[in-house]
């Protein structure tokens, strides 16, 4: 059985995952306003992944006999100075989520809740990929700073991103 404290923390993580989807949808809206449809598509796929992550936590709590309590989702930011600033914000957000996941792992270890610890390992690995992907986009955008043709190519490349099944590791 999951402790009350860990159940509360996992419910808060559901909220954090759904908030992540909101942030990425807000970023997609920014890119659409800037006529950068490839980056917008990239962010929409990211939002879908975050919703799937939230549902993983939702389903896990039910599988363990714990109650899900959905919390209010905070309004995300809507304005950025440039595409690189958007991806820097995405990277910072993923680093924040990594910290949250690490805190959940530590809590599960303290509670000797090995099932929850095992469940969380997927997210530990996922966060490595999430941070690396956002960081890669930041570096690419910094490389083409001031080169509209480079931005066009990166936008087109971002639009080719495909959705992955969560069982593949997204």
Instruction: Convert 32-41 to b/e letters by CB count within 10 Å (16 or more is b).
Output: eebebebbbb
Domain boundaries, the chain: 4-70+80-162
Mean pLDDT of 101-107: 98
Which residue matches tokens 């995952």?
17
Mean pLDDT of 83-98: 98
Mean pLDDT of 48-70: 98
**pLDDT above 50 (res 168):** no
Residue 5's SS3 state is: helix
Burial environment of residue 72 by CB neighbours within 10 A (0 to 12, 13 to 18, 19 or more): exposed
pLDDT score at 1: 85
Q: Are 87 and 134 in contact (CB under 8 A)?
A: yes
Which of the four pLDDT bands, split at 50, 70 and 90, describes residue 78?
Answer: very high
pLDDT score at 42: 97
**pLDDT above 90 (res 166):** no
pTM for this entry: 0.93
CATH code of the region 4-70+80-162: 1.20.1260.10
Which of the four pLDDT bands, split at 50, 70 and 90, describes residue 162?
Answer: confident
pLDDT score at 165: 56
**pLDDT above 70 (res 170):** no
**pLDDT above 60 (res 72):** yes
DSSP 75: P
**pLDDT above 70 (res 10):** yes
Q: Are 78 and 26 in contact (CB under 8 A)?
A: yes
């Amino acid at each position: 059985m999951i402790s009350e404290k860990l159940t509360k923390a996992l419910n808060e993580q559901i909220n954090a995952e759904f908030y992540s989807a909101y942030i990425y949808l807000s970023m997609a809206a920014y890119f659409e306003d800037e006529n950068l449809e490839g980056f917008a598509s990239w962010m929409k796929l990211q939002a879908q992944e975050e919703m799937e992550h939230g549902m993983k936590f939702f389903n896990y709590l039910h599988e363990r006999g714990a109650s899900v309590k959905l919390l209010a989702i905070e309004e995300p930011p809507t304005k950025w100075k440039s595409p690189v600033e958007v991806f820097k914000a995405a990277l910072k957000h993923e680093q924040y989520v990594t910290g949250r996941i690490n805190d959940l792992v530590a809590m599960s270890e303290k509670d000797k809740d090995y099932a929850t610890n095992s469940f969380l390992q997927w997210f530990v690995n996922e966060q490595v990929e999430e941070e690396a992907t956002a960081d890669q986009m930041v570096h690419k955008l910094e490389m083409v700073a001031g080169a509209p043709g480079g931005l066009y190519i990166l936008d087109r490349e971002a639009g080719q991103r495909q959705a992955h099944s969560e069982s593949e590791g997204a």
